[in-house]
Chain A
């Protein structure tokens, strides 16, 4: 356990500089989007000369609507950094292994020489990915109330549609995708995400074990996983005839079972590869 925490700490520290950089980019870009949305809206408001009379204000609001934070949340500079973070974390699933191979003085050699199970290294890497993803989410959650506050300060109150962080998550936008407000949904979505991470880890270890041939094995493995997940749909449309259909709950429990299988198989397969096949 101690070794595992040490390794996680070690991995987190290696990522830390890049992580701080990411946080700064997200914060700056989102604050810029906030001001851009506001000034664009205010320009239209001033063009309509909204402040001249009560009537003009009303007329402008009925034609353009109130300005809410939701408009900011749909701005490119607001969503952009979130998408970049997601992409970078996907990429980091690969980097976290390959930098040990291709970095300075092949670090993997030293890692594998550690008097600990190689699976500890494997799990510490997976944990790092999960921690980093969740902490990025947490950062966004801390940033949002501040952004909303600033936004509500700079927009004239008569044009402002008030909104809290929670309201934002109840609307359909990027946040309902990355952070479902229902706790069980949140757990299941990130469980699916971890399934994907373990599958990609297996792909990487296959490549490390068999090199070029390993890439082909890896692709076959990923295809097999995808095929496994399509089993319920396959049964529904081909096995039982055209007018058969599963209940949504049945599909859900089947997929849940399949995900458990996928995660277990990926971990066991990786264990086998790490123990017997992976070369330094």
Chain B
């Protein structure tokens, strides 16, 4: 037996060492605290589909572990595993995950939920692809093409075609922002980037000037062709006054796949000032909310009183399906004004929502007429609560109040909460 000594030692040591390692990994995973969202007040149905993404920092040097927290519990992401990523639910909307299970072939390669349009009869998807094989783009000639894919949800007919994009050779980047079906026409709105080379008069050198355009394509589905292309708006850049206007998407946290006949965006005028330390500071001079009616193709004005217009200037504008919400923060509360796009008017009175624990509600969203807000109060020493409130924007009443709590932890629960950081949340 003596001659097998080396082999035996190596085999035994290797098995024990690797075995210990994987056991330790499994143990350290099970030691991680489990969190959940506890309902303190109100109806838990509002929080049922809520997914909170967070980070848990175990110890100083090891970096955080990311996790998702729901009312049922929490789940840590295994960041080193390629296998755990396979076939996971990767859409941010539950209904797209369902559709993927039901229509596996149609959903191939369709990743972005904002590029979907889904009503009770059809699902449509538009994508623009181009550029070089490695995913790099030139200033020009990227050979962009638009890929349209539709599915009749009843008889499973597919409508798949490819379109040449007029003037695509001038753009350095094109991406699809929204897809809508209006009658028999598919309306695809894209955000397109153009880089113009301009000669600087003073230094006589070439400088690149970026220009963004918001473009609307009207596509006739039966003829499979683009029947109209309109540049809705474009950014501009004034070198002399150092001001530029940007086209900004409105924040929208509700389901973007549902039918809507409006495209709403913001035009913001900005001014760059170079500080004495060489850094550039950008300041917002003015902003304007623009509503485009996709049926008529015309811009619509906001039907507001002068006082409301004044309020709009200082508020955060959030789009929630057919409604616009103007949210203004004051020291004590949030005031919310609702504007209905269909009826073209302000509906109801300004609603006031009290802040929880006088924390700054930086992390809030409007989803289906409800305001969701998370307070992340780490500034308050000795108190590390993570509260969530849901308020109905129709009357300002809070319909849900909850708190993230530790379900199971080996150590002190408040210590575990202290190491928890909330990043974001969404309603699936």
| A residues neighboring B (CB under 8 Å) | 5, 8-9, 12-13, 16, 66, 68-70, 131, 134-135, 137-139, 141-142, 161-172, 176, 179-186, 188, 242-249, 252
8 Å CB contact of B25 from A16, A166, A171: A166
Bound form: Cα–Cα A171–B83 in Å: 18
Interface string of B100-130 (1 = CB under 8 A from A): 0000100011000000000000000001010
Bound form: Cα–Cα A43–B82 in Å: 41
Stretch from B53-61, B150-158, B239-247, B338-346 contacting the other chain: B53-61
A9–B6 touching, CB < 8 Å: yes
A179–B21 touching, CB < 8 Å: yes
> Is B284 in contact with chain A by the CB < 8 A criterion?
no
**Residues of B contacting A188 with CB < 8 Å?**
83
Bound form: Cα–Cα A6–B374 in Å: 66
List 20 additional A-B contacts (Cβ < 8 Å) besides A9-B3, A66-B60, A164-B28.
Answer: A5-B4, A12-B10, A66-B61, A68-B61, A131-B14, A135-B10, A137-B18, A141-B18, A162-B59, A162-B61, A163-B61, A163-B62, A170-B63, A181-B22, A182-B84, A185-B82, A242-B145, A242-B147, A246-B108, A252-B83
A243–B61 touching, CB < 8 Å: no
Bound form: Cα–Cα A66–B60 in Å: 8
Given A12-B6, A170-B65 in contact, is the A243-B127 Cβ separation under 8 Å? Answer: yes
> Is B81 in contact with chain A by the CB < 8 A criterion?
yes
8 Å CB contact of B109 from A131, A176, A179, A244: A244
| B residues neighboring A (CB under 8 Å) | 3-4, 6-7, 10-11, 13-14, 16-18, 20-22, 24-25, 28, 58-63, 65, 78-87, 104, 108-109, 127, 129, 145, 147, 149, 160, 162
**Residues of B contacting A252 with CB < 8 Å?**
83, 86
Distance in Å: Cβ of A235 to nearest Cβ of chain B: 12
- Please name the residue on chain A nearest to B22 by beta carbon: A183
Bound form: Cα–Cα A169–B26 in Å: 12
B129–A138 touching, CB < 8 Å: no
8 Å CB contact of A245 from B18, B109, B162: B109
A243–B65 touching, CB < 8 Å: no
Shortest 5 CB-CB contacts between residues of A and residues of B: A68-B61, A161-B61, A245-B109, A167-B62, A138-B17
Bound form: Cα–Cα A185–B62 in Å: 21
Bound form: Cα–Cα A131–B11 in Å: 7
Distance in Å: Cβ of A32 to nearest Cβ of chain B: 21
**Residues of B contacting A242 with CB < 8 Å?**
129, 145, 147, 162
**Residues of A contacting B162 with CB < 8 Å?**
242-243
B87–A248 touching, CB < 8 Å: yes
- Please name the residue on chain B nearest to A9 by beta carbon: B7
Bound form: Cα–Cα A69–B62 in Å: 10
- Please name the residue on chain A nearest to B20 by beta carbon: A141
**Residues of B contacting A185 with CB < 8 Å?**
80-83
**Residues of A contacting B18 with CB < 8 Å?**
134, 137-138, 141
**Residues of B contacting A12 with CB < 8 Å?**
6-7, 10
Bound form: Cα–Cα A144–B32 in Å: 23
A167–B59 touching, CB < 8 Å: yes
Given A9-B4, A9-B6 in contact, is the A70-B61 Cβ separation under 8 Å? Answer: yes
B80–A182 touching, CB < 8 Å: yes
B6–A13 touching, CB < 8 Å: yes
Distance in Å: Cβ of B20 to nearest Cβ of chain A: 8
Supply 30 A–B pairs (Cβ within 8 Å), ascending by A: A8-B7, A12-B7, A13-B7, A16-B6, A66-B60, A69-B61, A131-B7, A135-B13, A138-B16, A138-B17, A139-B17, A141-B20, A161-B60, A162-B59, A162-B60, A163-B61, A164-B59, A166-B25, A167-B62, A171-B63, A180-B80, A181-B25, A181-B80, A182-B81, A182-B84, A188-B83, A244-B108, A246-B108, A247-B104, A249-B86
Distance in Å: Cβ of B251 to nearest Cβ of chain A: 30
8 Å CB contact of A141 from B21, B109, B147: B21
- Please name the residue on chain A nearest to B21 by beta carbon: A141
A167–B21 touching, CB < 8 Å: no
Given A13-B6, A131-B14, A142-B17 in contact, is the A163-B80 Cβ separation under 8 Å? Answer: no
8 Å CB contact of B14 from A13, A134, A180, A183: A134
A247–B87 touching, CB < 8 Å: yes
Q: Which of B16, B62, B85, B129 has the most CB of A within 10 A?
A: B62
